């Protein structure tokens, strides 16, 4: 058979084809052919001329079937050609390739995926309502309301004159500085507020005390060498100076502060990486003569909840007019949250002006160190300063002060509050409990600068 049949069923020789062709004919024809072929094979006379006319399987219905003739030569003389009915076209079986099956499966899977995607798209797509006007409609993109964002401009409350957050901060920023210090034993950093156009800067005493070198970075990013003017550690107020012309802060009136009003803290926590950081909060309370025992300080402070951290000390607490109303000084840490304290600006400016004028703050003092005496009440004298009015009056360690000018005192805070209203050189009468006996002593108040 022809090479075109390769890849299908094994080939059969020509003789086998004849047997296959005759297999479907009537029995008598098969027997005659078999007998004749046997004789021919035995005699070696089987001819080679065979003609096969096959049925065209593609012929249309109703076309007369073509008969085929097998003419065999070499038979006995006078043998007639035999005519047989047409045989059925032989269908060649093809061996199935495994890749054909794989391709069919892949095509089916792809068709299923496409059909599923189309279904879910049609099911889940929200229809767009269009008017039913009997005509074709075109779906339009939905209208999106995109307003024009205006450039920022400062705004102000028309009734109170208070500024918004950004305007209040921008008003104060030119006067807020970053301070770096170094000394013999330590170095540090903090914040400050420019007080005057000629470069006096208000800060905390604990930011600059002990410093031998001080540098200041101003709002424009320039660094300036600063000189020490003075400080008072008992009030935690200090003053330094830089040379040049600068924008001073506007200061408010801390006597008008009320709990609940909004405030903003501005400073440089941790390092100059956070230069001029702003945080907002409210005034929690206004506290006069509040004692911080661990720091040995009694201060008039504004308690607030704006976030402050190490480095904020000396920075500004401003109101919503952009005015400085306090100098941030202390933060409660550990288990406490949102407890920050700023020195009231009226007191801070008073001390700063004294430092500029005299190099120190002059305050009336007894000349003792003391602490609150437990639950019994009174103030326990811990030590007496040499040359002080207390020493001259005869006070001793372990005396318990119970009254001052006839007014009972139960805590050190109460004693400090009474003394703050006095002047240097004033005389006060102290009632002291010593060895089970109450005694009175008259003390002339000295100056803290001494």
Catalytic residue numbers read 206, 236, 313
DSSP secondary structure letters along 317-344: EE-TTS-EEEEEEEE--TT--S-EEEEE
CA geometry: angle 259, 157, 202, nearest 5 deg: 55
Q: Quick one: how far is CA 402 from the chain centroid? A: 56
Per the CB < 8 A criterion, the answer to whether 267 and 340 are in contact is no
In this structure, the strands spanning 407-408 and 368-372 are: unpaired
Taking the C-alpha atoms of residue 312 and residue 281, their distance in angstroms, rounded to an integer, is 15
Which H or E run includes 393? helix 389-393
Place of tokens 């100059």: 272
Return the structure tokens found at 348.
């801070």
In this structure, the strands spanning 213-217 and 223-232 are: antiparallel
* Rg of the chain over all Cα atoms, to the nearest angstrom: 56
Which residues make beta-bridge pairs with 389?
Answer: none
DSSP secondary structure letters along 78-123: TPPPEEEPPPPPPPPPBPPPHHHHHHHHHHHHHHHHHHHHHHHHHH
Place of tokens 């320039």: 222
Place of tokens 């009015």: 389
Q: Helix, strand, or coil here: 243? A: coil
Residue 422 phi, psi dihedral angles, 5° rounding: -95, 170
* Burial (CB count within 10 angstroms: exposed 0-12, middle 13-18, buried 19+), residue 263: buried
Q: Which of 422, 413, 301, 407 is nearest to 366 (CA)?
A: 422
The set of residues, in sequence order, having a beta carbon less than 8 Å from that of 94 and lying 6+ positions away, is 7, 8
Which residues make beta-bridge pairs with 364?
Answer: 447
> For the chain, what percentages of helix, strand and coil (3-state, to nearest 5) are there?
25, 30, 45
């Amino acid at each position: 058979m022809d090479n075109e049949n390769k890849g299908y069923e094994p080939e059969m020789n020509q003789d086998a084809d004849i047997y296959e062709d005759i297999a479907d004919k009537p029995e008598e024809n098969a027997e005659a052919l078999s007998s004749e072929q046997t004789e021919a094979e035995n005699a070696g006379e089987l001819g080679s001329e065979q003609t096969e006319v096959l049925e065209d399987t593609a012929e249309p219905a109703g076309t007369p079937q073509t008969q085929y003739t097998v003419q065999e030569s070499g038979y006995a003389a006078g043998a007639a050609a035999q005519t047989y009915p047409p045989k059925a076209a032989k269908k060649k079986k093809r061996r199935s390739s495994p890749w054909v099956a794989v391709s069919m499966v892949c095509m089916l899977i792809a068709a299923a995926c496409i059909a599923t995607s189309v279904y879910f798209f049609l099911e889940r797509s929200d229809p767009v309502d269009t008017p039913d006007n009997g005509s074709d409609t075109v779906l339009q993109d939905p209208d999106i309301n995109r307003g024009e964002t205006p450039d920022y401009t400062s705004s102000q409350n028309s009734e109170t004159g208070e500024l918004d957050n950004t305007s209040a901060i921008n008003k104060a920023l030119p006067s807020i500085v970053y301070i770096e210090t170094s000394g013999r034993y330590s170095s540090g950093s903090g914040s400050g507020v420019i007080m005057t156009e000629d470069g006096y800067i208000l800060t905390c005493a604990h930011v600059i005390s002990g410093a031998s070198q001080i540098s200041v970075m101003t709002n424009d990013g320039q660094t300036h060498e600063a000189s020490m003017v003075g400080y008072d550690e008992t009030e935690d107020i200090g003053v330094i100076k830089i040379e040049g012309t600068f924008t001073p802060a506007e200061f408010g009136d801390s006597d008008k502060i009320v709990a609940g009003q909004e405030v903003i803290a501005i400073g440089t926590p941790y390092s100059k990486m956070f230069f001029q950081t702003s945080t907002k909060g409210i005034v929690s309370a206004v506290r006069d003569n509040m004692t911080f025992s661990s720091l040995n300080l009694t201060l008039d402070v504004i308690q607030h909840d704006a976030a402050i951290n190490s480095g904020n000390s000396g920075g500004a607490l401003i109101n919503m007019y952009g005015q400085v109303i306090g100098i941030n000084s202390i933060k409660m840490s550990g288990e406490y949250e949102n407890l920050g304290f700023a020195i009231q600006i009226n007191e801070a400016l008073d001390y700063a002006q004294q430092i500029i004028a005299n190099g120190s703050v002059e305050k009336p003092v007894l000349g003792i160190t003391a602490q609150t005496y437990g639950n019994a009440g009174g103030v326990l004298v811990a030590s007496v300063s040499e040359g002080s009015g207390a020493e001259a009056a005869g006070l001793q360690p372990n005396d318990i002060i119970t009254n001052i000018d006839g007014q009972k005192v139960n805590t050190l805070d109460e004693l400090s509050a009474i003394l703050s209203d006095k002047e240097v050189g004033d005389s006060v009468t102290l009632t002291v409990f010593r060895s089970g006996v109450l005694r009175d002593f008259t003390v002339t108040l000295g100056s803290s600068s001494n």
